[in-house]
Amino acid sequence: MSESANIIIGKGKLPFVFLLEDSIDADGQPINSKVIELASNNGELLVGLFLKQQVKNDHRSINIHIEDINGELAYSEFLIIFERQATRNQSLNEFFFVDEKWDFEKIATFSSDLINKFIDAYKLIHKHKKDWIPYVTKNRLSPWSIHIFNKEKEKIAGINTLDFRGTGESLANRLSDVDLKQLKELSKRSGVSVDPALKFIQEANRYKLTGDYVSCIIFLAFSIEKWIFREVRYRLEEIGKTQDEIDNDLIKEDKRYIDRYEAIKIVTGNKNFKNMESFKNFEKNVTNLRDEIAHRDRIFISKDMVELAIDSTNKFRTDILPVIWNK
C-alpha cells in the first residue's frame, strides 16, 4: 500500500481561454484567493481549478484583444488540485490508487470531467454566447503533469509528462498499393457521397479515438438507426415497391419516421428478432446507455463500456441483416 496522499496536483493546457482573471502567478504557483472550486463526489474531495491565459510563442509580438476560437493564438494553462477533506477519514488513495499503483489516467479522466462541468457553468453564465467552446477529454488536455504529495507536502509519486494524444499508429505506415489506387480513384470523382450510416460510424470512431466516450455512444446509436432504415429501404426496393410507396410505409402523416423496429417489422411481418441475444445486448449496452445520456444526465462513460457497445452493435447488425433480407 502506498503512503497516504493528501494532495494531487495536475497540470495541462486548454486549447482556448476563459475570460477570467489569471489565478496562476508568474512562477506557476496557484493564487489561492482566486481559486475556482469544483464540486466532486458529494464533497468527499476538495478540488480547485486555477487558470492562466497564454499566447503562443510565434504570436507574442501580436497584441491580442479578442478570443481565438481555433486555439491557434492563445491557450490556457491550468492547475487542478485535489485535497483530502480534513473532516473525513478517506485519503486520496481510495479514489486513485488502483491495483497497488497510482492510476494517473483515472486522475486525468476525472479532472477532465470536472473541467467540463465548469465549462457548462461558464457557458450558462454567458447565456450560451460561449457554446463554441468544446468539451475536453484527457487527450485534448495533454500533455499532463501529475504529482502526488503526503500531508507533509512531500512528493510521494508523480509523472512529468503523460500524453494521450497518440493513436498508436506509426507515421511510417502507408496505404497498400491496392488501397492507394482506390483512394486516388475516389478523390478524382466530382462528389464523393458518404452514406449517412457510415458517416455516423466514422463520427463515433472519431469520438472514441479522442476519448469523448459520451459522444461516441450517441453517434453509435444514430448509426444503427440510419443503417436499419437504409437496409429496409433497399429491401422494399428489391421486392418492387416504388419510392412513394416506401415513404408511405416509413413516414407517418406528421412527417416523422416510424420506430426503427416497426420498420424492420414491415419486411419481416413480426418482431421475433427481439428474442435474439444480440438484440437484447444491443438494447442494454447501446440504446439504454444512449437514453441515460439523453434523459438521466449520465456523464461518465468508460472505455470498456464503449468497447462493449461497439461489440454489441456489430453483433446485432450481423444477426439482423439476414432477417431483414429473409436469408
Does residue 80 contact residue 37 with C-beta atoms inside 8 Å?
Answer: no
Break the chain into its structural domains and give their ranges: 7-162, 194-324
Q: What angle do CA 248, 253, 256 make, to 5 degrees?
A: 85
In Å, the largest CA–CA distance within the chain is 78
What's residue 89's pLDDT? Answer: 63
CATH number of 194-324: 1.20.120
Name the stretches of the chain with pLDDT < 50: none
pTM: 0.70
The DSSP secondary-structure symbol of 204 reads H
Return the bridge partners of 54, or none. 75
Does residue 24 contact residue 30 with C-beta atoms inside 8 Å?
Answer: yes
Contact residues for 302 (Cβ-Cβ < 8 A; gap 6+): 213
Distances (CA, A) of 274 to 198, 228, 267, 289, 316: 24, 14, 15, 18, 10
Euclidean distance between CA atoms 229 and 258, whole angstroms: 10
Euclidean distance between CA atoms 48 and 209, whole angstroms: 28
Taking residue 173's Cβ as centre, other Cβ atoms within 10 Å add up to 6
Distances (CA, A) of 40 to 47, 78, 81, 183, 191: 7, 18, 12, 48, 49
What's residue 84's pLDDT? Answer: 79
What's residue 161's pLDDT? Answer: 94
What's residue 191's pLDDT? Answer: 59
What's residue 295's pLDDT? Answer: 82
